[in-house]
Amino acid sequence: MPELPEVEVVRRGLEQHVRGRTVAEAVLSGSRVARRHPAGPADLAARVAGARVEQVDRRGKYLWLVLRPPHDDPQALVVHLGMSGQLLVEAPDAPREKHLHATFDFTDAGPQLRFVDQRTFGGLALAELHPDPHGGPTHPHGIPAPVLHIAPDPLDPVFDRAAAVRRMKASSSEVKRVLLDQRVVSGIGNIYADEALWRAGVHGRRPASALTRPALGRLLDHATDVMRAALGQGGTSFDALYVNVNGASGYFDRSLDAYGRTGRPCRRCGTPIVREEFMNRSSHSCPRCQVRPRSPRP
């Protein structure tokens, strides 16, 4: 699934292409794209028509458009990208994609916004906006109700590194599991957790509570650094599903040190990178640089 850098790349593209424009018409194909919107696709389409895009916002891996309908308070169009969701900006007469599920036309007759989703795990939903519980200037319109429980991400000005370290230190769970907990720190997914752990020389199976506070702080710093680097390269794209609004892929996969490098030499010591099963996913690490903790005796 796309992580913070990939979602931020999409957010920046939308900010450039749709902010300030007014929706003339939305067309949703089928009911699955709006399954998270209880009133259904017809209601969603009717409610966004005539609304102005005030802001394109993000927290962690969650993305939403702040829409201001005529004579009403702003609301959030929350976009769930899922495993293969794409937001594309294209000419209205461009060929329709095979897995096109929603189109948004604007009153200026300019480029059209399309939601394409090959695996149909993503979707759209309208949600009320609430004051940001963490404060700060980043989200002046508030946070959508479904995102209120999500912690700030390391690129957010309101991110509290010390508080995140305290929450991690208080957990006896494996440190990679804690990194992936969006209630502790948001935006970090499987790829960048593996990269941060490799940079820190820490195995993901180690209990978070067993690490010192300085070590946990350095781990968060590594996660921040690697996500900034990925953002600078357009994110990580392993296939054509992860693209920006213009359909271009990122290329940070060429710079990965651990994730997806099974059997290839560690860039630090030359030991082959190993892959392990973890939470129905894969973990990648160097068995020499990141010593796996001993399993407790029965």
Active-site residue, 98 included: no
194-208 per-position pLDDT tens digit: 999 999 999 999 999
280-294 per-position pLDDT tens digit: 889 999 999 999 998
Residues found in the chain: 298
Mean pLDDT of the chain: 91
Tell me the pLDDT band of 248, cut-offs 50, 70 and 90: low
Given 32, 161, 228, 281, the catalytic residue = 281
Q: Which of 85-89, 195-199, 245-249 has the highest mean pLDDT?
A: 195-199
Gap between the Cα atoms of 176 and 87, Å rounded: 30
98-141 per-position pLDDT tens digit: 999 999 999 999 999 999 998 888 899 999 999 999 988 889 99
Tell me the pLDDT band of 249, cut-offs 50, 70 and 90: low
Q: Please report the pLDDT score of residue 298 as a whole number.
A: 44
Given 11, 61, 167, 205, the catalytic residue = 61
pLDDT at residue 95 above 60?
yes
pLDDT at residue 251 above 60?
no
Q: What is the DSSP string of the chain?
A: ---HHHHHHHHHHHHHHTTT-BEEEEEE-SSGGGTTSTT-HHHHHHHHTT-EEEEEEEETTEEEEEEE-TTS--EEEEEE-TTTEEEEEE-TTSPPPTTEEEEEEETT--PEEEEEESS---EEEEE-EE--TT-SSS-TT-EEGGGTTPPPPTTSTT--HHHHHHHHHT--SBHHHHHT-TTTS-S--HHHHHHHHHHHT--TTSBGGGS-HHHHHHHHHHHHHHHHHHHHTT---SSTTSB-TTSPBP-GGGG-SSTT-BTSBPTTT-PBBEEEEETTEEEEE-TTTSPPPPPPP-
47-74 per-position pLDDT tens digit: 999 999 999 999 999 999 999 999 889 9
Percent of the chain residues past pLDDT 70, beyond the cut: 94
pLDDT at residue 246 above 90?
no
* Mean pLDDT confidence for 25-44: 94
Would you say the pTM of this structure is higher than 0.85? yes
Percent of the chain residues past pLDDT 90, beyond the cut: 78
Q: Please report the pLDDT score of residue 250 as a whole number.
A: 61
Given 3, 6, 8, 174, the catalytic residue = 3
Q: Please report the pLDDT score of residue 269 as a whole number.
A: 97
User: How far separated are the first and last CA of the chain, in Å rounded?
Assistant: 36
Active-site residue, 61 included: yes
pLDDT at residue 233 above 60?
yes
Tell me the pLDDT band of 176, cut-offs 50, 70 and 90: very high
